[in-house]
Amino acid sequence: MTSSNKKKRERAAQAFKKTKLKVGKTPNKPANHTDTSFRSKTIVVTQQSLSVRIAPETEKQYLHHLSLLNHHASQTRKDSLAFLTTHLRDVSVPLAALLPKLAPLILDESNGVRTALLALFALLKPNEVRLQLQIILLHVWSAMSHIDTDIRRDSTKFLSWALGAAKEDVLGNGGWAKGLTALTSVLEGKHLEVVQKFLVAGFGEEEGEIQTERVLHGGLHWSVQINLTRAGVQDYRYLGLFAGEVGAVEDAPGRRRWCVETAQGKQITQRLRTGLVGLTKEGGETGRIAGKVLQILERGIERAKETE
């Protein structure tokens, strides 16, 4: 037997030989094993902040969700509102572009969408709301007379929010008459607290008739406040600086007089009184609140008559 043949037989026998392993001992690595392990003391990150890449992407998504607010699927509209709410302060999209797209959702047929919208509105600051408030109020007044019961039910939630965010702006620019008219169409137990809130604000019960700068000059330069205080609003009406009859309905005494001196005011006041009297007869919690609101209405009217 040659030496080469002997070596071949030995290698073949070794290949099929079962190696006995001992406990705790690492088995031998195969002959063709390649070691791929490595060690590194530090990892260098070229960009420590991810905001450079995330912010543009977030703003792009924000605009995308903004475009989905009129999507046919209510769940999509709701999800988009949730995204807009979460990232409201993370993007540079101006509220002047956002609010006109949000306002129509006050009339949305989905309860979930309206609830999500109200949650977003709650994050807005008064100075952010005022410039677009009239657009929002147009949809609020419309919702209060809507044929859909659920939309009417939620309408006063938006009115209550608006009163809390920018009360004098709600009452100004004809809002007192529009608000009272709209409230007569939702004069039910679940809306009485908002009726009370509106009347208290309009009659000046909370502030003791202390007039704010915005009520008197509607956003004009602060120096106008001094002149109006000295000369009175009526002296400046001929200049056409004010929206509507400022002296008549843009302050608490004027709003009270409007209820007793104008045909529209008398008609709406009578409708409110009749509705409230009817609710007081129901008794219970509804009757109690209705009686309280009726007292506020009657007191405001009496105060107006005392100044005649």
Q: Which of 81, 126, 71 is nearest to 102 (CA)?
A: 81
- Top-confidence residue, 284 or 15: 284
Alpha carbon distance 65, 186 (integer Å): 33
pLDDT tier at 15 (50, 70, 90 boundaries)?
low
φ, ψ for residue 187, nearest 5 deg: -80, 75
The pLDDT, as a whole number, for residue 212 is: 42
pLDDT in tens, 135-185: 999 999 999 999 999 999 999 999 999 999 999 999 998 999 999 999 999
Give the three-state DSSP class for 107. Answer: helix
Give the three-state DSSP class for 251. Answer: coil
Place of tokens 């929002």: 136
Looking at beta carbons, which pairs linking 247-250 to residues 24 or more positions away fall under 8 Å? 249/174, 249/176, 249/177, 250/171, 250/172, 250/215, 250/216, 250/218
Handedness of CA 145, 146, 149, 152 (dihedral sign): negative
Residue 273 lies in a domain: no
284, with CB counted inside 10 A (0-12, 13-18, 19+), is: exposed
Alpha carbon distance 105, 84 (integer Å): 14
pLDDT at 297 > cutoff 70: yes
Residues 6+ apart with CB under 8 A from 138: 103
pLDDT at 105 > cutoff 50: yes
Domain that holds residue 123: 54-151
Q: Half-sphere exposure of residue 31, counting CA atoms within 13 Å on the CB side? A: 2
pLDDT in tens, 176-223: 999 999 999 999 889 999 999 999 999 987 544 434 434 443 444 434
Number of C-beta neighbours around residue 259 at 10 A = 26
Give the three-state DSSP class for 23. Answer: coil
Tokens of 44: 């260098």
pLDDT tier at 288 (50, 70, 90 boundaries)?
very high
Residue 106 lies in a domain: yes
| Amino acid, res. 146 | H
Q: Percent of the chain scored above 70 by pLDDT?
A: 69
Q: Which of 179, 141, 198, 187 is nearest to 290 (CA)?
A: 187
Residue 87 lies in a domain: yes
The pLDDT, as a whole number, for residue 53 is: 42
| Structural domain count, the chain | 1
Residue 171 lies in a domain: no
pLDDT in tens, 227-267: 444 344 444 444 444 444 434 467 899 999 999 999 999 99
Q: What does the mean pLDDT of the chain come to?
A: 81
Residue 125 lies in a domain: yes
Question: Contact 183/273 with Cβ under 8 angstroms?
Answer: no
Helices (H), the chain: 3-15, 51-67, 74-86, 95-102, 111-121, 126-129, 133-144, 149-171, 175-183, 192-203, 213-217, 223-231, 246-249, 252-261, 263-280, 284-306
| DSSP per-residue string spanning 63-85 | HHHHHGGG-S-HHHHHHHHHHHH
Residue 114 lies in a domain: yes
Give the three-state DSSP class for 14. Answer: helix
Residue 258 lies in a domain: no
pLDDT at 100 > cutoff 70: yes
The reported pTM is 0.71
Alpha carbon distance 42, 246 (integer Å): 72
Q: Which of 149, 151, 150, 121 is nearest to 135 (CA)?
A: 121
